[in-house]
Amino acid sequence: MLHERLEPVYDNVVQRNRGETEFHQAVREVLESIGPVIDKHPEYAEQKIIERICEPERQITFRVPWEDDSGEVHINRGFRVEFNSALGPYKGGLRFHPSVYQGIVKFLGFEQIFKNALTGLPIGGGKGGADFDPKGRSDREIMRFCQSFMTELHRHIGEYTDVPAGDIGVGGREVGYLFGQYKRITNRYESGVLTGKHLSFGGARVRTEATGYGCAFFVQEMLAARGESFEGKQVVVSGSGNVAIYTMEKVHQLGGTVVACSDSSGYVHDENGIDVELVKQLKEVERTRISAYVERRPGAKFVADRSVWEVPCQVAMPSATQNELDADDAATLIANGCVAVGEGANMPTTPDAVRSFQEAGVAFGPGKAANAGGVATSALEMQQNASRASWSFEFTEQRLEQIMKDVHARCYATAEEYGMPGNYVAGANINGFTNVADAMLRLGLI
């Protein structure tokens, strides 16, 4: 339920941002948590901090024309939402996917504000992307699109202004093409302007693994708070992209057994434990469907067009896309004995499903906390670029693990402080919000 002082704020957001349902959902989820904060800190309401946070500082929409290998011209639409810079330069990824539109970018950017604040690092929140589908495109087509995209975007970003990174559809290849065009246009080797770069030109070790590793570290902390661990537990991970792959890898290292993963065609169930190296080969090298897994792994089975959440597990880690785990899936997981859920993707669990988990006493780690490892390591990459340094894999992973432990501790302690012990959703929302709100108060009415 919304606090009575927040109902008109939410109604205004819906009215001013018509049709942007994902953004409405993200805003409501935060507002439902911060009612007690408004009672404790009336100055936030008096200074219209909530209204200001819900309105992006800047929204950029632009045309992206490009030519395919056959000479046909295509027109896509590019976006960058620079949401809040109270704590530092805007920081958030770029997503290339046909589903991208203003509402998706704003939902992701809004989430990014609080996720970045939770890391304790000096970074604001933003997000961007394009309704471009990289699937089936050649490397040269990808390069031409990225160059056209950056030709416009370059005028809005910079290492002290706005620092994009990768997201769905934007990996190391795309970041390389984007950075190359930025360097070409600006005549500056400003390596801190983009993160997720290759190690050969300023990238950080562990950046590829960071979101998945970080999510596993966060869930490990949630389990430890209950006197448990990954040891001996069966785990289900949705998706088979970057986040899912490295979530699975770290879960195995921490003693758990991932028994299922998926893609948009269905899921594979491997009772002996998913072969992560095989998934890497299929998805990162061959770029094929997860169904090919069973051709090379005797004993595994592929189930088409069904939910991976029907596979029994003690830990569930949704790592694919938004709203992929609904109330029916939650009921199935709870009935099968699930004790912890960690969101590797952004808002992959519907509000009804979140409530079901909380009412059942399942430890639920929301994405803005559980998947903060990616942006945290991006900030570490920015630190290395600024100091012209290069850190080892082991040192960077240690920094990541400590950051995720700190994120968990902040969420846990904040939930306790506001009388909601064990509620990581409230803890994450309140801690992230108050960090940003306090900075905004101190910066004046801007």
Q: Which residues are catalytic?
A: 127
Classified as helix, coil or strand, 59 is strand
In angstroms, the CA 87 to CA 280 distance is: 36
Output the CA torsion sign for 276, 281, 285, 290: negative
In angstroms, the CA 25 to CA 46 distance is: 24
In angstroms, the CA 13 to CA 8 distance is: 9
In angstroms, the CA 117 to CA 166 distance is: 19
In angstroms, the CA 237 to CA 312 distance is: 12
Q: Are the CB atoms for 262 and 245 separated by under 8 Å?
A: no
Terminal alpha carbon distance of the chain: 30
Output the CA torsion sign for 218, 224, 226, 228: positive
| CA distances from residue 277 to 25, 282, 303, 385 in whole angstroms, order as listed | 36, 9, 21, 30
- State residue 119 phi and psi, 5-degree precision: -70, -20
Q: Residue 102 is which amino acid?
A: Q
- Cβ neighbours of residue 314 closer than 8 Å, sequence gap 6 or more: 233, 234, 235, 337, 338, 339, 340
Buried/exposed code over 304-314 (b: 16+ C-beta within 10 A; e: otherwise): eeebbbbbbbb
Exposure on the CB side of residue 128, measured as CA atoms within 13 A: 29
In angstroms, the CA 378 to CA 386 distance is: 12
